[in-house]
């Protein structure tokens, strides 16, 4: 049972344009959401997070939007840069689970010149 | 963020042998560490939560006698894959739990260990 889903396994975006990565979840107990970036053969790197009491969080080129009623979140990267090419995982944490994270299946982003 | 190291970064072993993977927190005392496994093109799957000074908590479907976790100090957790088989070949990643600059659930991950069992 995949509680966190990233339905697009891959995405290609031109440099300078906006990248939008989507994530859906099913567990209504999730109250904290995170995005991680991962290069091959490396551990994930934390990018940005959002609490369920917010609907938007921005950090430089990265913005995460949360739509609780739709159980959907998205990561916007603008402008996209070639160095952003990686696999992006969204993750969620539920109340009272002591920081345990449930990860989505990942979206491979390719930023082309 | 916290700096996490793993050793070895990759290991090849024969079927039936045991392999120990170390996860170290270099700049933070971690009472909780997590161990994940990632198969190619799949998500990171939480295997167990490692608690300093007590027994690890395993996720459903993870054999605790096969994947031995020891968290003897605040800076070191080890995962031992006992009697490894080819199906145990995977990318194993550890993380520190629940510490971050802004949020409370930002885990910081090690670089991972690629295990290949022949």
CA distance B30 to A69: 35
Q: What sign for the dihedral angle of Cα B65, B55, B48, A26?
A: positive
Question: Is the CB of residue A49 less than 8 Å away from at least one CB of chain B?
Answer: yes
Per residue in A54-91, pLDDT (tens digit) is 999 999 999 999 999 999 999 999 999 999 999 999 99
- In terms of DSSP bridges, do strands B44-51 and B32-38 run parallel, antiparallel, or are they unpaired? antiparallel
Distance from CA of A2 to the nearest CA of B (A): 10
Neighbour tally for B61: CB within 10 Å:
7
Tell me the nearest-neighbour CA distance from B1 into chain A, angstroms.
Answer: 9
Residues of B in contact with A45 (CB under 8 A): 109
pLDDT, residue B98, reads: 56
B2, B108 contact by CB (below 8 A): yes
pLDDT given at position B93? 95
Please answer whether residues B34 and B92 qualify as being in contact, where contact means their C-beta atoms are separated by less than 8 angstroms: no
Give pLDDT, residue B41: 78
Q: Using alpha carbons, list the distances in angstroms from residue A54 to B52, B58, B105, B115.
A: 33, 32, 16, 40
Does B105 have pLDDT greater than 70? no
pLDDT at A19 over 80: yes
Q: Is the pLDDT of residue B102 over 90?
A: no
pLDDT at B103: 45
Model confidence pLDDT, tens digit, residues B4-55: 999 999 999 999 999 999 999 888 788 889 999 998 878 899 999 988 888 8
Number of H helices and E strands in chain A, helices first, is 0, 11
CB distance from A69 to chain B under 8 Å? no
């Amino acid at each position: 049972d995949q509680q966190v889903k990233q339905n697009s396994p891959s995405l290609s975006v031109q440099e300078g344009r906006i990248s939008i990565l989507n994530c859906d979840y099913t567990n209504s107990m999730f109250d904290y959401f995170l995005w991680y970036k991962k290069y091959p053969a490396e551990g994930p790197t934390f990018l940005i997070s959002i609490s369920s009491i917010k609907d938007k969080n921005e950090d430089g080129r990265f913005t995460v939007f949360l739509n609780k009623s739709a159980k959907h979140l998205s990561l916007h990267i603008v402008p996209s840069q070639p160095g952003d090419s990686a696999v992006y995982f969204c993750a969620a944490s539920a109340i009272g689970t002591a920081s345990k994270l449930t990860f989505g299946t990942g979206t491979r982003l390719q930023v082309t010149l | 963020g916290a700096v996490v190291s793993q050793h070895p970064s990759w290991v090849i072993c024969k079927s039936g042998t045991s392999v120990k993977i170390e996860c170290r927190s270099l700049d933070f005392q971690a009472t909780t560490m997590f161990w994940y496994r990632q198969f190619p093109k799949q998500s990171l799957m939480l295997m167990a939560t490692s608690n300093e000074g007590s027994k690890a908590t395993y996720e459903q479907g993870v054999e605790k006698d096969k994947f031995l976790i020891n968290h003897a100090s605040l800076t070191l957790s080890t995962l031992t894959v006992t009697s490894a088989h080819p199906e145990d070949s995977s990318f194993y990643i550890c993380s520190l739990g629940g510490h971050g600059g802004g949020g409370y659930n930002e885990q910081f991950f090690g670089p991972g260990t690629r295990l290949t069992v022949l």
